[in-house]
């Protein structure tokens, strides 16, 4: 019945839904998950790498996390090619703001600007929406550390802890139970890894299936975006009780 | 009155042994009136690449802001810093884009490339590159600077000697130019460290 209203993104269905946008969110539900948690001293982003073939050789350092500007980064879930376009757009928007105002773009402004772009694809042009959800993590002088989630409709919200991608509802309810106010980054990493281990399909979690990034403030006041090395990530996994330490022979 | 002589400037960059130095004067004037004595003309692009911009001060600042924009995007996409040669091509292209309504600034670019090889170059306001192995100069004091550098320069100087040479060349040249001077600023870059020094010269 709803077939009649699927073909154009710019048309509402009789029930008042935008089917193309909802189908885009379906596509994201099949993609690798990502979790973001806000801590007192930073933001933690963890992503599940879907393709872990030995033959894969990428030049980019990360598959799920991307730096948008010195003080803002994001984790991605969904169609990677769509994500690349949006990440590039976000980077340009951040630099244009910095050029105009000689100040780093406030995190919410960047998220809003990108969401305005996404919204355009649900209202004009007859083009399909982007099949990507983002977790934006950043710091600015007005509001400190922040975490935002945005989806294909162009809606966004600020969160203390959020999950996107596969099994995100299960992950979100786990986060709701276990999240505590005033978590440190270390505790946030442990929580994120625990939740991810329960919602991921694979039987054992190893460092090569995950990516972990933290946004924090260096003593100099500079915002730092650090991607965890595989060795450090293995240590985190052991500390979180998610994997057994390598057996001594 | 030439637009290039409106604010007054002096810039010089020299190559040493596995190091380079880039120096500028500190005066900002509005024709004959001196308005600032701490004006920055040498800017950092990344740890091993610096650009000095002589000529009209507002164009120097705007050019720098545009270059920061472009370099930041390059760093994000390529996950590495720009090589000096690549950066010089970028500056040249940006200047030529305004071929029929140019930015009134002449850049001096200095950086350490692959294998810590020092790289310097200058270009005119339309982007014509001039690569040099020894020194490059720019600004209202450029003629004096050419003379001073030609006589004082020796190849393969160690950092301390390079610093002395570039400082003397700068100070003696700006003393012959009424539009530049009021002190000097020298940046000495080696593979392991960066030294910034302020020179006290004739404050006139």
Residue predicted with more confidence, B2 or B1? B2
Which residues from chain B sit within 8 angstroms of residue A61, using beta carbons?
A: 79
Check residue B55 and give left, alpha or beta (phi > 0: left; psi -120 to 50: alpha).
left
Cβ pair B72:A92 closer than 8 A: no
Spatial neighbors of A173 by CB under 8 A, at least 6 apart, are none
Q: Binning pLDDT at 50, 70 and 90, where does residue B17 land?
A: very high
Asked if B76's CB is within 8 angstroms of A67's CB, the reply is yes
**How near does any CA of chain B get to the CA of A67, in Å?**
7
Chain A with chain B: Cβ pairs closer than 8 A: 24
Q: How many CB atoms sit inside 10 A of residue A222's CB?
A: 11
Mean pLDDT confidence for A40-67: 89
What pLDDT, on a 0 to 100 scale, did the predictor assign at position A3? 60
Mean pLDDT of A82-95: 97
Collapsed DSSP state (helix, strand, coil) of residue A117: helix
The partner residue sitting opposite A61, judged by closest CB among B69, B72, B79, is B79
Q: How many helices (H) and strands (E) does chain A have?
A: 6, 10
Strands B28-30 vs A156-158: parallel, antiparallel or unpaired: unpaired
Reported confidence tier of residue B151, pLDDT bands at 50, 70, 90 = very high
Coil, helix or strand for B135?
strand
Binary contact (A60, B69; C-beta < 8 A): no
Instruction: Show residues of chain B in contact with A91, CB under 8 Å.
Output: 73, 76-77
CA atoms within 13 Å, Cβ hemisphere of A104? 16
Tokens at residue B105, please?
């600034």
Q: Helix, strand, coil % (nearest 5) of chain B?
A: 35, 30, 35
Nearest CA in chain B to A84: B77
Q: Range with the lowest mean pLDDT among A57-66, A142-151, B150-159?
A: A57-66
| pLDDT exceeds cutoff 80 at B133 | yes
How many other C-beta atoms lie within 10 A of the C-beta of residue A243?
17
Q: Please indicate if any CB of chain A lies within 8 Å of the CB of B176.
A: no
Contacts of A102 in chain B (CB under 8 A): 65
Predicted structure pTM score: 0.91
Mean pLDDT over residues B10-21, rounded?
A: 97
pLDDT at A92: 97
**Interhelix angle for B84-97 vs B57-78, to 10°?**
130
Nearest CA in chain A to B70: A95
Which residues on B lie below 8 Å from A223 (Cβ)? Answer: none
Give the model's pLDDT for residue A246.
61
State how far the alpha carbon of B117 is from the alpha carbons of A2, B9, B113, B187, in Å. Answer: 66, 28, 5, 17
pLDDT, mean of residues A162-184 = 95
Phi and psi angles of residue A240, each rounded to the nearest 5 degrees, phi first: -80, -5
Which residue, among A86, A99, A222, A227, would best test binding to B if mutated, counting the most B CBs under 10 Å from its CB? A99
The interface predicted TM-score (ipTM) is: 0.88
Q: Residue A138, Cα to own-chain centre: how many angstroms?
A: 12
Q: Is the pLDDT of residue A242 over 90?
A: no
pLDDT band at A205 (very low <50, low <70, confident <90, very high): confident
Question: By percentage, how much of chain A surpasses pLDDT 90?
Answer: 73
Query: Of the candidates B58, B24, B56, which has an alpha carbon nearest to the alpha carbon of residue B182?
Result: B24
- Which two three-digit tokens encode residue B67? 């270059």
Mean pLDDT, range A185-205, rounded to an integer: 89
């Amino acid at each position: 019945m709803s077939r009649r209203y699927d073909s154009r993104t710019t048309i509402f269905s009789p029930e008042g839904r935008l089917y193309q946008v909802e189908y885009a969110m379906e596509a994201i539900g099949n993609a690798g998950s990502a979790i973001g948690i806000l801590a007192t001293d930073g933001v933690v982003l963890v992503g599940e790498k879907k393709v872990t073939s030995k033959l894969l050789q990428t030049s980019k350092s990360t598959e799920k996390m991307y730096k948008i500007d010195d003080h803002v980064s994001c984790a991605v879930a969904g169609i990677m090619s769509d994500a690349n376009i949006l990440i590039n757009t976000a980077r340009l928007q951040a630099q244009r703001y910095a050029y105009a105002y000689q100040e780093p773009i406030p995190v919410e402004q960047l998220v809003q600007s990108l969401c305005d772009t996404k919204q355009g694809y649900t209202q004009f042009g007859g083009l399909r929406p982007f099949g990507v959800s983002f977790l934006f993590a950043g710091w600015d002088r007005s509001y400190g550390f922040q975490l935002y989630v945005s989806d294909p409709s162009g809606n966004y919200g600020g969160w203390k802890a959020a999950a996107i991608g596969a099994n995100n509802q299960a992950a979100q309810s786990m986060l709701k139970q276990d999240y505590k106010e005033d978590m440190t980054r270390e505790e946030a990493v442990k929580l994120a890894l625990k939740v991810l281990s329960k919602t991921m399909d694979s039987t054992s979690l190893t460092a090569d299936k995950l990516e972990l990034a933290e946004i924090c403030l260096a003593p100099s006041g500079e915002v730092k975006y650090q991607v965890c090395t595989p060795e450090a990530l293995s240590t985190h996994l052991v500390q979180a009780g998610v994997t057994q330490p390598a057996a001594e022979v | 009155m030439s637009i290039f002589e409106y604010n007054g400037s002096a810039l010089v960059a020299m190559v040493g042994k596995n190091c380079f130095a880039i120096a500028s004067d500190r005066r900002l004037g509005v024709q004959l009136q001196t308005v600032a004595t701490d004006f920055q003309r040498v800017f950092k692009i990344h740890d091993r690449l610096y650009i000095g911009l002589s000529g009209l001060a507002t164009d120097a600042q705007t050019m720098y802001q545009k270059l920061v924009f472009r370099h930041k995007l390059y760093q994000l996409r390529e996950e590495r810093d720009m090589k000096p040669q690549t950066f010089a091509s970028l500056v040249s292209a940006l200047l030529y884009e305004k071929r029929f309504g140019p930015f009134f600034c002449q850049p001096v670019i200095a950086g350490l490339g692959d294998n810590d090889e020092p790289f310097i170059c200058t270009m005119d306001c339309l982007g014509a590159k001039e690569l040099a192995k020894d020194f490059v100069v720019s600004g209202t004091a450029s003629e004096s600077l050419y003379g001073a550098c030609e006589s004082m320069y020796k190849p393969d100087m160690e950092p301390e000697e390079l610093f002395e040479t570039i400082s003397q060349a700068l100070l003696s040249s700006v003393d012959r130019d009424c539009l530049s001077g009021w002190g000097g600023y020298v940046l000495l870059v080696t593979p392991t460290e960066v030294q910034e020094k302020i020179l006290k010269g004739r404050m006139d």
